[in-house]
């Protein structure tokens, strides 16, 4: 891939173009990606079917009865020619707080992370809850937000054997990313706690709590606060 | 719902019965998948015979094993796989409109040819849309007859429009629009951006060798087994995946991604199957042979627009 110029438009079937803006994951990509999302909404209007932003790219899906790929490409070229980063994106990005009960019953990998880092569990918690993260992408499941980047001392590869059932709200780490599971699902992330926040709610306007570019803080709360906020304190099922 | 009445009762549920409208759009940026009928062709024809506009919800019946009882007089149509359907134990022809009187029993047995049948009812099946769509996605717990994405279960009730109508237009699908599911399909694939990163011998193999549908096949995707494909890229940063994207994980065995695919993924892709190639693949049982053939996006678009004009 190296040597090819960016941004570039890559064919994605008869109804899509993948806009490749960057080669590497970087927080500095976000103002460009959020600006591109906004400009594509305007440029395509009714002919827009879906937008799928991710770390370095945006997949634009259009109505193939309204536009040909060539026509869609022209619109995208025009958008890219005048694209300016969403300068206020960092400042304006909503700050979302996720109340999180860090506890070994909720987050069985807390000791693993502490051992790897040569730190106490309390320090691991302070480190995770002490930073502000950005949402780089959503995917895997409705409302599942990939956030980064955690401090180097928290970096930890995925579990070798994924769990069959990770409880809703579980907060985890994989590599240098962190996330919270919106619903019960299989998963291989290292679990360190559980949030009471409802990350995806079909009855809420907008459905998801987190969007691309949002700033996120995990706020350490006690078990009592966690339960008062509606968190489910039931421990993980034995045998994963 | 006030504008609907009970049309059918599930006497016995088969392995997988799901309501599908055209799909769930505008929410993929939240990580919500597309959904919709995996065989767009048969779904569209079933709705057409039933006199419904594009996008009405029809029942996708996978493998058979489903018994339904009419709770009122209905006009219906069945298209797609021959699942040995019977109406009160008399054989029921596929690709046709038919009537059911209250109390009659419709039964889907097992696959004779193809894998999925579509049952449409005049006026469409009714259910409360979830995130703008009735399409059932079990993994996400969204849509379907119960709003929770669950497949049909015994004693479930399927709601229909109160003024159902009798269908309109031709009562059966013309022969040229009925695929032969026994023939080896040539699946049209539009080459994608990473095609040049595959080794030449792998590209030759991809388009000239036989592929077999693996038993790891569902509404998310269909794995094909055959010659091992080698790509200079092994993994990439996750990016958005369109319908029909053919991704190649490090084991070299391609996976064609269908309606319930994950929204983003990080394997290199050969390209994307056309919507109608996806539809054809969705009728292939594990063990069936398929071939891949390259097609330009322009030609694929022409074919797709001709198809859609049939339902305008």
SS3 for B234-265, per residue? CCCCCEECCCCEEECCCCCCCEEECCCCCCEE
Q: What is the mean pLDDT of residues A150-166?
A: 93
- Distance between B287 CA and the closest CA of chain A, angstroms: 27
Environment class of B291 (CB within 10 Å of its CB; exposed 0-12, middle 13-18, buried 19+):
middle
Q: Are B26 and B112 within one domain?
A: yes
Nearest to B39 by CA among B223, B216, B181, B184: B181
> Both B287 and B243 in a single domain?
yes
Do A8-90 and A93-228 have matching folds? no
Across the interface, whether the CB atoms of B130 and A25 are under 8 A apart is answered: no
Written as tens digits, the pLDDT of chain B (312 aa) is: 558 999 999 999 999 999 999 999 999 999 999 999 999 999 999 999 999 999 999 999 999 999 999 999 999 999 999 999 999 999 999 999 999 999 999 999 999 999 999 999 999 999 999 999 999 999 999 999 999 999 999 999 999 998 767 777 889 999 999 999 999 999 999 999 999 999 999 999 999 999 999 999 999 999 999 999 999 987 789 999 999 999 999 999 999 999 999 999 999 999 999 999 999 999 999 999 999 999 999 999 999 999 999 998
Instruction: Name which of B266, B18, B139 is nearest A182 in CA terms.
Output: B139
Residue of B nearest to A26 (CA): B237
Find, among A53, A46, A59, the residue nearest to A11 by Cα: A59
Distance CA B90, CA B97 (A): 15
What distance in Å separates residue B282's CA from the closest CA in chain A? 18
Res. A1: pLDDT tops 80: no
User: Which CATH superfamily is A93-228 part of?
Assistant: Cyclophilin-like (2.40.100.10)
Domain boundaries A8-90, CATH class: alpha beta
Cβ contacts (< 8 Å) between A145 and chain B: which residues?
31
B222, two tokens: 């269909």
Same domain, B155 and B202: no
Question: Do residue B158 and residue B202 come from a single domain?
Answer: no
- Whether B115 and B260 share a structural domain: no
pLDDT in tens, A107-127: 999 999 999 999 999 999 999
Domain borders along chain A are 8-90, 93-228
Same domain as B260, residue B136:
no
Q: What is the pLDDT of residue B155?
A: 98
Q: How many domains would you assign to chain B?
A: 2
- The verdict on B124 and B262 lying in the same domain is no
Q: What ipTM does the predicted assembly reach?
A: 0.96
Kindly identify which residue of chain A lies nearest to residue B143, measuring between CA atoms.
A202
Q: Are B22 and B107 contained in the same domain? A: yes
Domain with B222, as residue range(s), is 186-309
Residue ending a domain, among B125, B143, B177, is B177
Nearest to A53 among B29, B193, B301 (CB): B29
Instruction: Decide which of A208 and A238 is more confident.
Output: A208
- Cβ contact A141–B140 (<8 Å): yes
Quick one: B51 and B147 in the same domain?
Answer: yes
Tell me, yes or no, whether B139 and B226 share the same domain: no
What CATH number is attached to the domain comprising B209? 2.40.100.10
Same domain flag for B251 and B153: no
Considering the domain architecture, whether residues B67 and B170 belong to the same structural domain is answered as yes
* pLDDT value at A177 more than 70: yes
Nearest Cβ partner for A13 among B28, B30, B244: B244
- A11 contacts B271? CB cut-off 8 A: yes
Domain boundary among B127, B146, B177: B177
């Amino acid at each position: 891939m190296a040597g090819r110029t960016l941004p570039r438009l890559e064919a994605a079937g008869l109804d899509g173009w993948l806009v490749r803006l960057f080669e590497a994951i970087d927080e500095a990509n976000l103002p460009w990606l959020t600006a591109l999302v906004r400009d594509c909404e305007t440029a395509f209007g009714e002919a827009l079917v879906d937008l799928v932003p991710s770390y370095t790219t945006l997949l634009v899906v259009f109505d193939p009865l309204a536009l040909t790929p060539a026509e869609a490409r022209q619109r995208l070229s025009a958008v890219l020619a005048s694209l300016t980063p969403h300068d206020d994106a960092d400042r304006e990005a909503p700050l979302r707080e996720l109340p999180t009960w860090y506890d070994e019953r909720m987050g069985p990998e807390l000791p693993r992370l502490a051992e790897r880092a040569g730190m106490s569990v309390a320090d691991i918690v302070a480190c995770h809850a002490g930073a502000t993260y950005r949402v780089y992408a959503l995917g895997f499941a409705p409302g599942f937000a990939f956030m980064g980047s955690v401090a180097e001392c928290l970096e930890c590869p995925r579990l070798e054997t994924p769990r069959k059932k990770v409880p809703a709200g579980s907060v985890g780490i994989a590599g240098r990313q962190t996330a919270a599971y919106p619903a019960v699902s299989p998963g291989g992330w290292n679990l360190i706690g559980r949030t009471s926040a409802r990350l995806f709610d079909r009855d809420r306007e907008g459905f998801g709590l987190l969007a691309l570019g949002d700033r996120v803080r995990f706020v350490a709360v006690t078990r009592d606060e966690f339960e008062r906020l509606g968190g489910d304190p039931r421990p993980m099922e034995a045998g994963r | 719902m006030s504008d609907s009445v009970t049309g059918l009762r599930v006497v016995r549920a088969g392995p997988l019965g799901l309501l599908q409208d055209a799909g769930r759009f505008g929410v993929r940026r939240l990580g919500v998948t597309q959904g919709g009928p995996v065989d767009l062709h048969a779904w569209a024809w079933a709705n057409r015979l039933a006199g419904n506009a594009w996008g009405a919800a029809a029942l996708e019946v996978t493998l058979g094993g489903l018994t339904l009882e009419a709770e009122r007089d209905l006009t219906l149509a069945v298209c797609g796989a021959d699942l040995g359907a019977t109406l009160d134990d008399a054989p029921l022809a596929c690709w046709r409109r038919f009537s059911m009187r209250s109390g009659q029993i419709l039964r889907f047995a097992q696959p004779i040819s193809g894998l999925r049948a579509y049952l449409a009812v005049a006026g469409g099946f009714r259910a409360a849309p979830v995130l703008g769509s009735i399409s059932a996605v079990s993994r996400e717990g969204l849509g379907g007859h119960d709003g929770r994405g669950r497949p049909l279960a015994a004693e479930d009730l399927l709601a229909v429009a109160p003024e159902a109508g009798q269908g309109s237009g031709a009562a059966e699908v013309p022969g040229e629009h009925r695929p032969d599911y026994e023939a080896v399909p040539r699946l049209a694939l539009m080459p994608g951006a990473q095609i040049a990163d595959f080794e030449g011998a792998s590209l030759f193999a991809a388009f000239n060798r036989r592929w077999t549908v693996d038993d790891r096949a569902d509404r998310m995707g269909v794995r094909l087994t055959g010659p091992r494909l080698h790509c200079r890229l092994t993994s990439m940063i996750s990016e958005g995946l369109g319908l029909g994207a053919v991704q190649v994980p490090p084991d070299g065995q391609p996976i064609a991604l269908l309606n319930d695919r994950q929204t983003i993924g990080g394997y290199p892709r050969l390209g994307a199957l056309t919507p109608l190639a996806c539809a054809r693949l969705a009728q292939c049982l594990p063990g069936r042979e398929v071939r891949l053939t390259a097609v330009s996006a322009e030609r694929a678009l022409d074919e797709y627009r001709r198809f859609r004009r049939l339902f305008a």
